[in-house]
Amino acid sequence: MALREIIILPDKRLRLVSEPVAAVDAEIRRLVEDMFETMYDAPGVGLAAIQVAVPKRIITADIAKKDEPKRPQVFINPEILWTSEDRASYEEGCLSIPDYYEEVERPAAVKVRYTDLAGETREVEANGMLATVLQHEIDHLNGVLFIDHLSRLKRDRVIKKFAKAAKREEKD
Ligand code: NI
């Protein structure tokens, strides 16, 4: 296993649409292991492969609380089949937009079809935090960030702040 570098806003690769995984082979399994190591190290509750600069449709997640045993979950080629009309609001953050949190309203429940690490097709109906994490991470696979769900004013302010920080780093 290896830690991978998480790419940060305004890295343009965060806007890529990720490619479907053709087969769950050794390379994909290694990538998934690295994603878990990187996600737990950060720490975060969800990670999309593009956040470690790999444009493949893979998500790792673990929504277990700190005092609970780990509950790693992998979703390969996830597809939203259904979303509830009920909506729920959660404070979201993103490992690619460090130290920024905002309330985002999304459907409260979703049904997702995905492939597991054994290559089997599965379906999950999620609500609560997992529903939010799945939608947030599936957005990543389509080049969408949680700040895209905020008002233009808030979004522009964050983008500007991170663009400035990136420029400062270039100079140093
Ligand atoms: Ni994110």
CATH number of the CATH domain containing 27: 3.90.45.10
Q: Look at residue 6 and tell me if it is in a domain.
A: no
Assigned token pair, 55: 């444009």
Taking only the tens place, the pLDDT of each residue in 13-52 is 999 999 999 999 999 999 999 999 999 999 999 999 999 9
Query: According to the model, what pLDDT value does residue 170 have?
Result: 82
- CA neighbor of 136 nearest in space, from 28, 86, 63, 67: 63
Distance between CA atoms of residues 109 and 49, nearest Å: 23
Q: Look at residue 103 and tell me if it is in a domain.
A: yes
Say yes or no to pLDDT of 92 above 90.
yes
Taking only the tens place, the pLDDT of each residue in 136-161 is 999 999 999 999 999 999 999 999 99
Alpha helices in 11-151 (DSSP H): 26-41, 128-141
Q: Look at residue 5 and tell me if it is in a domain.
A: no
Structural domains in the chain (count): 1
CA of 23 to the centre of ligand 1 (A): 25
- Cα distances (Å, whole numbers) of residue 112 to 14, 35, 80, 97, 127: 22, 20, 4, 25, 11
Q: Look at residue 157 and tell me if it is in a domain.
A: yes
Mean pLDDT of the chain: 97
CA of 104 to the centre of ligand 1 (A): 12
Distance between CA atoms of residues 10 and 15, nearest Å: 9
Catalytically active residues, by annotation: 137
Range of the domain at 16: 12-171
CA of 48 to the centre of ligand 1 (A): 7
